[in-house]
């Protein structure tokens, strides 16, 4: 609870900034500010990830990895705005993959580990961050849906899962969920977090019935998506904890009141692809 008091003011301020960006995210010029903000978050997350790799003796070519991350993130925005470019994120990822290989042609020492770690970083961070932009600007190729509300849905269900699991774990938690990588998480907290995710998802379904907000989600879809997001989001949280513990780090960064960017977006990195793929391939 002491940690909560330290982080609460920063969390409230962050929510305010996110709401502001979402409200104006369809403005002609402010779209670029939103893209830059998401790309910057991805860039910081990649830097934090590199610190994990360094702690384990990995040596990545960070400038190249950073550039590919930013370009890959922006590629999802371009693909959402112009459907003819729907393959652009895949193309950028492949070109980035080739560049990482080419940079090792003259010095091949440690190439296997470096390439594996770098490629995983792109898949783990750059692609999901780009997919958030793909969800946000989904409106541009599906006019009956407002991507801003889908981002609200993604953030609300994911974060309510975290909050529910945190409080239930502190109040009623007895059985450890994964004691070796995250001693504070409990089975009771995980179950309550999952219930919170389904309730939040259903609440947004109910809102979509009575408010003209450009967001439509059926009752069964809401419960199913809530269950999936509640489960996979907690899996993403544990996965980032695994990386931190292996690198012997408590937080991914030392940002005041926040810890690290990866600590904040770990669940979103796993849930964003679910919503992106749902909107792209299932919902149509």
Q: What are phi and psi of 252, to 5 degrees?
A: -80, -15
Q: What is the pLDDT of residues 165-195, one digit of tens each?
A: 999 988 898 899 988 998 889 999 999 999 9
Q: What is the pLDDT of residues 71-88, one digit of tens each?
A: 999 999 999 988 889 899
Tokens linked to 87: 């393959």
Task: Report the C-alpha gap between 271 and 234 in whole angstroms.
Answer: 10
pLDDT in tens, 112-144: 888 999 999 999 999 999 999 999 997 654 556
Q: How far apart are CA 72 and CA 96, in angstroms?
A: 9
The confidence band for 102, taking pLDDT boundaries of 50, 70 and 90, is: very high
Q: Please tell me which residue, 28 or 232, carries the higher pLDDT value.
A: 232
Per-domain boundaries in the chain = 2-282
Task: Please give the Cα distance from 75 to 140 (Å, whole number).
Answer: 15
Q: Are 284 and 275 a contacting pair, CB within 8 Å?
A: no
Question: What contacts 59, CB < 8 A, 6 or more positions away?
Answer: 53, 110, 113, 114
Q: Alpha carbon 189 to chain centroid distance? A: 21
What pTM was estimated for this model as a whole?
A: 0.92
């Amino acid at each position: 609870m002491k940690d909560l008091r330290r982080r609460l003011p920063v969390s409230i301020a962050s929510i305010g900034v996110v709401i502001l960006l979402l409200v104006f995210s369809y403005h002609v010029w402010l779209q670029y500010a939103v893209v830059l903000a998401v790309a910057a978050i991805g860039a910081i997350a990649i830097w934090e990830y590199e610190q994990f790799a360094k702690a384990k003796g990995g040596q990545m070519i960070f400038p190249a990895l950073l550039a590919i991350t930013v370009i890959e993130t922006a590629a999802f925005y371009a693909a959402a705005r112009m459907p003819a470019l729907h393959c652009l994120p895949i193309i950028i990822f492949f070109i980035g993959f080739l560049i990482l290989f080419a940079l090792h042609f003259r010095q091949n020492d440690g190439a296997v580990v470096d390439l594996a770690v770098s490629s995983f970083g792109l898949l783990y961070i750059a692609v999901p961050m780009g997919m958030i932009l793909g969800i946000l600007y989904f409106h541009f190729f599906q006019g009956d849906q407002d991507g801003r509300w889908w981002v609200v849905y993604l953030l609300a269900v994911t974060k309510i899962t975290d909050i529910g699991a945190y409080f239930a774990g502190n109040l009623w938690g007895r059985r450890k969920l994964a004691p070796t990588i995250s001693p504070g998480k409990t089975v009771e907290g995980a179950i309550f977090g999952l219930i919170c995710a389904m309730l939040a998802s259903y609440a947004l379904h109910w809102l979509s019935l009575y408010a003209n907000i450009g967001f439509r989600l059926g009752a069964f879809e809401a419960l199913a998506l809530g269950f999936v997001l509640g489960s996979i989001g907690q899996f993403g949280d544990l996965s980032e904890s695994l990386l931190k513990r292996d690198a012997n780090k408590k937080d991914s960064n030392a940002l005041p009141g926040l810890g690290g960017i990866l600590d904040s977006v770990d669940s979103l990195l796993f849930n964003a692809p679910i919503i992106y793929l749902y909107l792209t391939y299932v919902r149509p």
